[in-house]
């Protein structure tokens, strides 16, 4: 079993839809949870960063962490074609420590 | 925001040659940097942790003699792929945490695409 599981997709949605991306994990020591967006042939770009359980909102993006279920989510509201990318969840046991990534979910938002 | 740069962005080399990739933190100091490789449509796999002033820490299965890491200063880490072969062709990405506080997170470089002929 992988430490972090993520549905690879691809996920295709119409413009304006609400997108839900999820990851599950097995290591209860993870404390820091991140979502990265990666466009083709580019480095990952940090979208959201959450410590421990709870919700965090930033514009159209909302990150949720449920440590009791070892489950994290990223919601994208009013999705746009420019949101088309691969979304990677990542987590670590401490800030500055090595990250463990999910496999990434490929998202396509269509006009 | 914090910026991490990589050079070169793309390199094509012949089999058997060595290739050096640079990773720089542009507006902050990084005592630690991380090197990843990513194959097409796959996630990032951590190769090694680069530590300023000391030896790098390699992940299991990564050959330290093949992937030489030097963390020469607080803003520069280099990865040298020695005697490169076609199977080393990949996307290499570095990252650096913004600081040493427990709430810091990591910022990634734009990546270097290596193609070995």
Q: Which of A52-56, A58-62, B29-33, B100-104 has the lowest mean pLDDT?
A: B100-104
Q: How many CB atoms lie within 10 A of CB B53?
A: 9
Residue B84 is predicted with a pLDDT of 96
pLDDT, tens digit, 9 for 90 and up, residues A70-101 = 999 999 999 999 999 999 999 988 766 788 99
Listed residue (B28, B34, B20) closest to B94, CA to CA: B34
Listed residue (B77, B66, B68, B74) closest to B100, CA to CA: B74
Q: How far is B7 from chain A (nearest CA, A)?
A: 13
Residues shown for chain A: 111
CB crowding A59-85: b at 16 or more within 10 Å, else e? eebbbbbeeeebebbbbbeebeeebbb
Q: How many CB atoms lie within 10 A of CB A2?
A: 12
A95 lies within 8 A of chain B by CB: yes
B112 lies within 8 A of chain A by CB: no
Q: Which residues pair with B93 in a beta bridge?
A: B36
The model's confidence at residue B1, banded by pLDDT at 50, 70 and 90, is low
The mean of the pLDDT values for chain B is 91
B105 CB neighbours in chain A (<8 A) are 32, 34, 46, 49, 95
Residue B103 pLDDT > 60: no
Residue B97 is predicted with a pLDDT of 84
Answer for the pair A37, A47: CB distance below 8 angstroms, yes or no.
yes
Residue A58 pLDDT > 70: yes
Q: How far is A102 from chain B (nearest CA, A)?
A: 7
- Tokens 């070892």 sit at which residue? A70
Residue A96 is predicted with a pLDDT of 63
Residue A81 is predicted with a pLDDT of 96
pLDDT, tens digit, 9 for 90 and up, residues B20-68 = 999 999 988 888 899 999 988 788 999 999 988 889 999 999 999 999 9
| Best mutation target, A31, A38, A44, to test chain B (most B CBs within 10 A) | A44
pLDDT, tens digit, 9 for 90 and up, residues A6-48 = 988 899 999 999 999 999 999 999 999 999 999 988 899 999 9
The model's confidence at residue B104, banded by pLDDT at 50, 70 and 90, is low
Residue B82 pLDDT > 80: yes
- How far apart CA A107 and CA A85 sit, in angstroms, is 5
Residue B101 is predicted with a pLDDT of 56
Walk across the sheet containing B4-7 and list its strands.
Answer: B4-7, B19-25, B76-81, B67-73
Listed residue (A57, A52, A46) closest to A90, CA to CA: A46
| Best mutation target, A43, A88, A90, to test chain B (most B CBs within 10 A) | A43
Listed residue (A101, A99, A91, A84) closest to A9, CA to CA: A84
A46/B97 touch (CB, cutoff 8 Å), yes or no: no
**Measured CA distances, A72 to A4, A53, A66, A76, A90 (Å):** 10, 9, 6, 14, 10
> Widest CA span of chain A, in angstroms?
41
B102/A95 touch (CB, cutoff 8 Å), yes or no: yes
């Amino acid at each position: 079993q992988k430490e972090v599981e993520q549905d690879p997709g691809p996920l295709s949605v119409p413009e304006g839809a609400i997108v839900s991306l999820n990851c599950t994990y097995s290591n209860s020591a993870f404390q820091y949870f991140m979502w990265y967006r990666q466009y083709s042939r580019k480095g990952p770009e940090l979208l959201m960063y959450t410590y421990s359980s709870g919700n965090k909102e930033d514009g159209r993006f909302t990150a949720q962490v449920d440590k009791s279920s070892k489950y994290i989510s990223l919601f994208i509201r009013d999705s746009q074609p420019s949101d088309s990318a691969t979304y990677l969840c990542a987590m670590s046991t401490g800030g500055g420590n090595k990250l463990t990534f999910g496999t990434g979910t490929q998202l396509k938002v269509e006009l | 925001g914090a910026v991490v740069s990589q050079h070169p962005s793309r390199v094509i080399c012949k089999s058997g040659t060595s290739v050096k990739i640079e990773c720089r933190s542009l507006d902050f100091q990084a005592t630690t940097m991380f090197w990843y490789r990513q194959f097409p449509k796959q996630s990032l796999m951590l190769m090694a942790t680069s530590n300023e002033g000391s030896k790098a820490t390699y992940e299991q299965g990564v050959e330290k003699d093949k992937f030489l890491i030097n963390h020469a200063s607080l803003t520069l880490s280099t990865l040298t792929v020695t005697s490169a072969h076609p199977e080393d062709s990949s996307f290499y990405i570095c990252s650096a945490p913004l600081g040493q506080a427990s709430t810091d997170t990591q910022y990634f470089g734009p990546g270097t695409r290596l193609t070995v002929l």
